[in-house]
Structures are given as structure tokens and as C-alpha cells.
Amino acid sequence: MNQLVECVPNFSEGRDSKKIKEITDAIESVSGTKILDVDMGADTNRTVVTFVGSPEIVSKAAFQGIKKASEIIDMRKHKGAHPRMGATDVCPFIPVSNISMDECVAIAKKTGEKVGKELNISIYLYENAASNEERKNLSTVRSGEYEGLMKKLKEEIWKPDYGPTKFNEKSGATAIGAREFLIAYNINLNTNDRTYANEIAYELRERGRWKRKGNIEPFYYKGDVVYFEEKTYPDGNSDFVASSFEELADYYYKKYGKNLRERYEGIGLDPDDLVGKPVYKDGKFTNVKGLGWVIPEYNRAQISMNLTNYKIAPIHDIFDAACEEAEKRGIKVTGSEIVGLIPYDAMKSAAEHYLSKMHKSPGLPVPDLMNVAAQSLGLSDVGDFNPEDKVLGMPKTNGELANRITFDFVDEVSRDSPAPGGGSVAALSGALGAALGTMVANLSTSKAGFEDKKEKLAEISKKGQITKDKLIKAIDEDTTAFDKVIKAMRMPKDTEKENKIRGKEMQKGYQSATLVPLKTVEDCRNALQICLDISEIMDEGMASDVGSGALMANAGAISAAYNVRINIKSITDNQFSNNTEKKLAELLSDCEKLLGKISINVEECL
């Protein structure tokens, strides 16, 4: 499966769109990079760029972006509201699909080393890539900002992980790290009373509600007066409710530009002495920040949250907990909203969670899984939710051939062109075999008599979907592989040098055209395993479907094997040919054994 990594570099320029265009052009100069968002901020004088790609591509694209920023941004002239220490201030790598955090840490280290060495920029690793505990927190790494960097670099404790210890006046320093995906998530309530949203937010988020000890009470603000009376909840007309004086002071400063603590200390009052220092209880979920607000556009209250690790605090568990808390208060959750993007794995987990509660099989096609998750979470409650636009890393079948309807594909095969040919048809045959085995597993999940086999059926159906998707992808891969041979054949051969280059490229093409159908044989073998697994627990009514699936998968394996053998004849590398033939023989032997077992199980039911 394709690996996908997100990278979100922050550049210390938010006012000159031409400079940002130069940076994004540099990022996109790496083929395979896809920029998802460019967010410029004039006040902060900072731009956040979000792009995705494979591990190797993302690392190269990040380097090009950092390189261009170092050329056109001069930190000696930079002023802005946001903390910063370099032209590229921070550059995190985030796992999206089919990649681990450890792999993203490796990308961060590789990129950091290259930037430090080739661009002469001091690099600090942070978050999951940090070299020690003290450097995990970005705010700690960035303390002192650009202005304090010269002094900081002289301290042994702040020696950079990569790059020079000498101060780079123009570019400053850069923090490069690896972190989990952040999901901006709102849950909608059937009320426009902000108090309810705040109450539920306190129950859900990591730092929960204040503990009521002694004279500790919530602060609340109304008009131009801050009240410290012993009142558990302010009335509905209060402008703002805070769980700490600092939270209230921050709100007051943003609204009036005045320091609330200084105001009260100026008249001889110490807010901390007056009300005590709040102590908090733990909320239900770690890695969740949240508060309540009212959205006039929707005429309802929302619980607004940032989920900083959806693997520890899954979105579906948070949604279910919000529903329970709302029910306790006599209100309802009407749905929820994803702000920005959400990883495919988070949506897939939600779909499997709700399918399990429905006693349904989780082994469904990707569009079906996305539909289940979106409906269960009510993601279209306040706006349209299109998985194609909102779900990052969702597996897609973009092949021209695979996306054709059946009769169109058959017509294309019948035309007077060498591709698509037997390899593509073999992949389709194997995909249909895997699909039939998966279908039987999915149908059996809700049948009487299979209650104790639900976990086994779920495992079969999920593996079946993965195998089916790989074979569908191979429909186009086989044609693409053979296209490399055709392209090499058309290369010039007028000189000895041209002939040599042409021959070398043809060999590469033939090897590629051999390995693709070999992988198809392997996946057809896996499709047969799916059919065998379900044949051992199926009922009589499903035997014909399982048998048909097995025959289709085996036919795909034999057909793909023909393509392997025909291409081996053109390969001059004997070691490659011998290894391939050995692997092919092993796979075909496995297929024969699997088909034999399936046939016995099917015949016993007929």
C-alpha cells in the first residue's frame, strides 16, 4: 500500500505573497508533491504550508522549501506577533497512512542532517524526534526566539542536533520533528446555550473541570465587571465563563487590550488570594483540548476540540462520550464537523467501530466505510462532507483501465493493441476471486449460526478487501510496466552508445514487466487463501460462490504466470531469471494446494 506523509513547514514571511509563491514553487518542483493548503498571516508575519507525498518525496520537497526560504527571507529584518527563531521556523513530518511514527522520525532526522550540512542552518529535533526530553516541547526549543539564538548556541545544553553552532544571522535556526496528525473537530448540540457546550467540553478534554475546594469558584465576566461571587454557574447573559483567572485574563486582554491582573492589583486586590488557585480534575480523554462556543451561522452551540493524537483518543469514542454527556443534560448531539482534513485511518476506525455495534462486517469497500463513518458521526449536519475532499490518505483506484465500466474494459482488451493484455485480465480475474470470498464473509456475519465466528469473519473480510484492492491496482500496473518496454524499443539506435543505452532500458522494462505479473500471482494466491478460510466455515448456500471465487483466483494466477514466463525469455540477467522462476514455482504450487482443499470443501456442500 502507498505510504503518505504530511509535512507542515512554517515560514517566517506572511506579507509578501511573491516570496511565498517562490517557496511553494520550490516545494512543488519535486515531482509527486501535492500542496493542500497555504495559510498566510500578516499580523504574525508567518505562513503555514501543508503538503503531502511519499516519504522520499516529502523529505526532498521540505529541503527545497527550506532552501528557498533561506535564500529569500532575512531574519534580521523580520517582525511578527508569532514566536519564531528562523526563516523556516518549524517543519514537522506527520504519518498519514501506511507509515509509522518511527519512520517519520527517520525522515525528520534525515532531512535535518541534510539541511544542517548543506544549508549551514542550526537544526533542533523536537516532539517524537527529540534527542532528549527537554527538547520535545516546541516552545522550550524556541525559547528566546531569534533574538536570543546567538547566546543560546553558545550553551553546551543547547548545542544543535545538526548544523553549525555558529549563529546564522540571516536564516536563524529551524526545529524539525515528527508528530501525530492534529484533527480540528466540532460536535454540534441542539441548543444555542454555550454553558452546555462548555460543561461537556470540560468532561471530555484532558484538563477537565476545576475541582470545587474551599472558595474556588468559576470566574465569570459580564459587561465590564469581573465577578468572584460564590455562584456555581453564572446566568445565561454572561459574556464569558473561565475555569481559571489566567484564562479569563487572556480573554480580557484580547477584548480590551488591558491587563486584568494589573487592574485588580492596582486597587489592592489579589485575585489569587480572593478566590484561590483552581485545581483541575482529569477529563475523559488525553490528547484532547476543547471549549464550548456558539456559532451564530448555525444557531447552535458547539464543542470545539483539537485532537492531538487520534490513535489514543479516537474520534468515535469522543463522539459517543459527548452523546452520553448531552443525554445527561437533557440535550442532544445533532452531528459533528471536521475542520480541515482527517486521516483515512481515523475514519476507517470509526466505521469499523460503528459496524461492530451494528453486528455488521467491517470488511467493506473504502467508499462504503467512509459512508458509514460520515453518517454515524453526522458529518453532514452543518455542511456537506465529501470524503474525496476531506479524507487524507484514502485509498483510491486512479488507474484508467480499472476505472472503466466492465463492457468498456472488455472492448479495450479486444482491440488491436498489445495492452491491456493477459496480465491485466489476470489481475481482474484474481480481484473477482477475492471479491467473491469477501462477499461470502460479509453475508455470513449477519446470519444465524455465525455468532461465535464474527471475529474470524471480520478478519477474512478485511484481508479480502486489501487483496482485492491490490489486484485492481495491478490491472493498470501491468499495462504501465509493458509500456516501459515499448518506450525503450522506440529509443534511437543509430550509434553504438545509443544501442547500449536502449538495450539497458529494455532490460529494465522487461524486468519490471516480469515482476508485476509475479506480484499478481502472489496476490491471486492470497485470494485463494481468503476462499479457503471462508470455505472452512461457510454454509451450503454459499459453496458455489466460494468455489467460483477460487477458480477465478486460480485462473488469474495461472494467467499471470504465463506473462512472467514470456517476459523472462527476453531477460539476460540469469540470476534474476533463476530467482524469479523459483519464486513462481513456489507460488503456483501453493495455489494448486489451496485450490485442492477448497474444491474438497465445496464438493462436500453440493
128 to 4, 156, 168, 288: CA distances (angstroms): 18, 22, 26, 18
Q: How many residues does the chain have?
A: 606
User: Measured between alpha carbons, how far is 143 from 84 in angstroms, rounded to an integer?
Assistant: 9
User: Measured between alpha carbons, how far is 385 from 388 in angstroms, rounded to an integer?
Assistant: 9
CB-count exposure of residue 225 (10 Å: 0-12, 13-18, 19+): exposed
For 439, the grid coordinates are 462477499
Residue 36: half-sphere exposure toward Cβ, Cα within 13 Å: 19
Report which secondary-structure segment, H or E, holds 41.
Answer: strand 34-41
Q: Are 146 and 197 in contact (CB under 8 A)?
A: no
CB atoms inside a 10 Å sphere around CB 195: 17
Q: Are 319 and 336 in contact (CB under 8 A)?
A: yes
Helices 406-414, 422-445: crossing angle, 10 deg rounding:
160
301 to 32, 238, 287, 366, 463: CA distances (angstroms): 41, 15, 22, 32, 41
282 to 126, 548, 562: CA distances (angstroms): 26, 56, 63
Q: What are the φ/ψ torsions at residue 173 (nearest 5 degrees)? A: -130, 165
Residue with cell 522494462: 509
User: Measured between alpha carbons, how far is 29 from 372 in angstroms, rounded to an integer?
Assistant: 38
Instruction: Indicate which residues carry an active-site annotation.
Output: 82, 478
CA dihedral 264, 270, 271, 274 (to 10 degrees): -130
User: Measured between alpha carbons, how far is 72 from 84 in angstroms, rounded to an integer?
Assistant: 16
User: Measured between alpha carbons, how far is 564 from 513 in angstroms, rounded to an integer?
Assistant: 8
Query: Smallest Cα–Cα separation from 492: which of 481, 484, 480, 500?
Result: 500
Q: Find all residues with CB under 8 Å of 89, minimum gap 6, and list them.
A: 10, 11, 12, 46, 142, 172, 174, 175
Query: Smallest Cα–Cα separation from 365: which of 428, 435, 295, 313?
Result: 435
User: Measured between alpha carbons, how far is 314 from 355 in angstroms, rounded to an integer?
Assistant: 15
Handedness of CA 550, 553, 555, 561 (dihedral sign): negative
User: Measured between alpha carbons, how far is 411 from 430 in angstroms, rounded to an integer?
Assistant: 19
Q: What are the φ/ψ torsions at residue 582 (nearest 5 degrees)? A: -65, -45
CB atoms inside a 10 Å sphere around CB 174: 30
Q: Find all residues with CB under 8 Å of 264, minimum gap 6, and list them.
A: 226, 270, 271
